Amino acid sequence: MPRPGEPLRNLGFLTIGVFDGADPGPGHESLLRTIELAEDLGYDSVWLRNRHLQFGVSSPVAVLAAASQRTSRIQLGTAVIPLGLENPFRLAEDLATVDLLSHGRLQPGVSVGTPMRYDSFRTALYPETHDVENFTKDRVLRLLAYLRGEPVSDFEGVEGIETWSRTVQPHSAGLAERVWYGGGLESAVWAGQQGVNYLTSSVVTTAASSSTDFATIQAEQIDAYRAAHVAPGRARVSQGLVVIPTDTATPEQVRMYTAYAESRFARTLAPQGPRKMLFAPDLVGTSEQIAEALYAHAGFQRVDEVAFALPFSFSEPDYRQIIGDIATHLGPALGWSPAS
């Protein structure tokens, strides 16, 4: 539990990877340059959000395959892949392939549930089965089984000139132990019981808590995860909040960042919508100010890994300034040292 003077062990950031729908190539190239910069700055990890039918990365595994060939050390994560739009069999093949290409650097984060706006595209996604698809955690269990190398076929051997395996190929040993799961309190307990890693974010649900304070609720979820974990000594939790340090920002950038946070502040005051979602305030200021706020944050006090979220709508120069300040100012203020 980091306090002033105790080091933060793992520093990362996550991004949506925005692009222009009329010309998506440059946005993807910009994202790859940002990942390369993160490795140069000594970050431990970089994480990609997943967006479907939007102008953000829809195929993080493909992007990370490219990133694996342009980096050599940094951990490559997904936060998170919604499994409702995935076939766990095929996803296991893709994840294992990228993990091998990256020499064991993949950190796959997943979640379940009915996809957002499912009724708008369900017949395109599942033409014959959209009414009977199982969007429960069974999808995660299937993915874990396939990554672990459990049999998926009742045939193994040679047929003609082709050799067949009972298990998903390729197999990447140890990948299943690097799977992360994101969700609320019930999901935190379940993740601990399954022995998978747990991702928190800048959004919590308040339905299962007597509190309406974001940090308190996040701390409750982390405590529940650790208490339920089958092997507490290897329980891993990563916190993801939106932080925007301004140490080297221009006055124009400071005004833009401040206006961005102010435009989103109202949603942090009370639970939103039928799911009673509560959002964390964006942290904007000098690294000294942000570090002080984090050390006072009950959720941050319970982790030693973070993946700070980048805002969705900024430009590449803005992102370079933000991740540069996180690595050179905020990270050291949190006791972190860049990887060599």
- Smallest CA-to-CA distance from 61 within 121, 117, 106 is with 106
Checking phi first, is residue 224 left (phi over 0); if not, alpha (psi -120 to 50) or beta? alpha
Q: Over the Cα atoms of the chain, what is R_g?
A: 20
pTM above the 0.85 mark?
yes
DSSP state of 54: S
DSSP codes, 71-83: -SSSEEEEEEEEG
Domains parsed from the chain with CATH numbers: 10-333 (3.20.20.30)
Cβ(324)–Cβ(248) below 8 Å: yes
Mean pLDDT in consecutive groups of 10 residues from the start of the chain, 340 residues: 73 96 98 98 97 97 98 98 98 98 98 97 98 98 98 98 98 98 95 98 88 94 97 95 98 98 94 90 98 97 97 94 98 94
Strands (DSSP E) contained in the chain are 10-15, 45-48, 75-82, 106-111, 157-159, 162-164, 180-182, 197-199, 203-205, 237-238, 243-245, 277-279, 283-285, 305-309
Dist. CA 160–CA 265, nearest whole Å? 64
Place of tokens 């290897």: 234
Cβ(335)–Cβ(5) below 8 Å: yes
Residue type for position 309: A
The alpha carbon dihedral of 152, 154, 155, 156 has a sign of: positive
pLDDT value for 1: 46
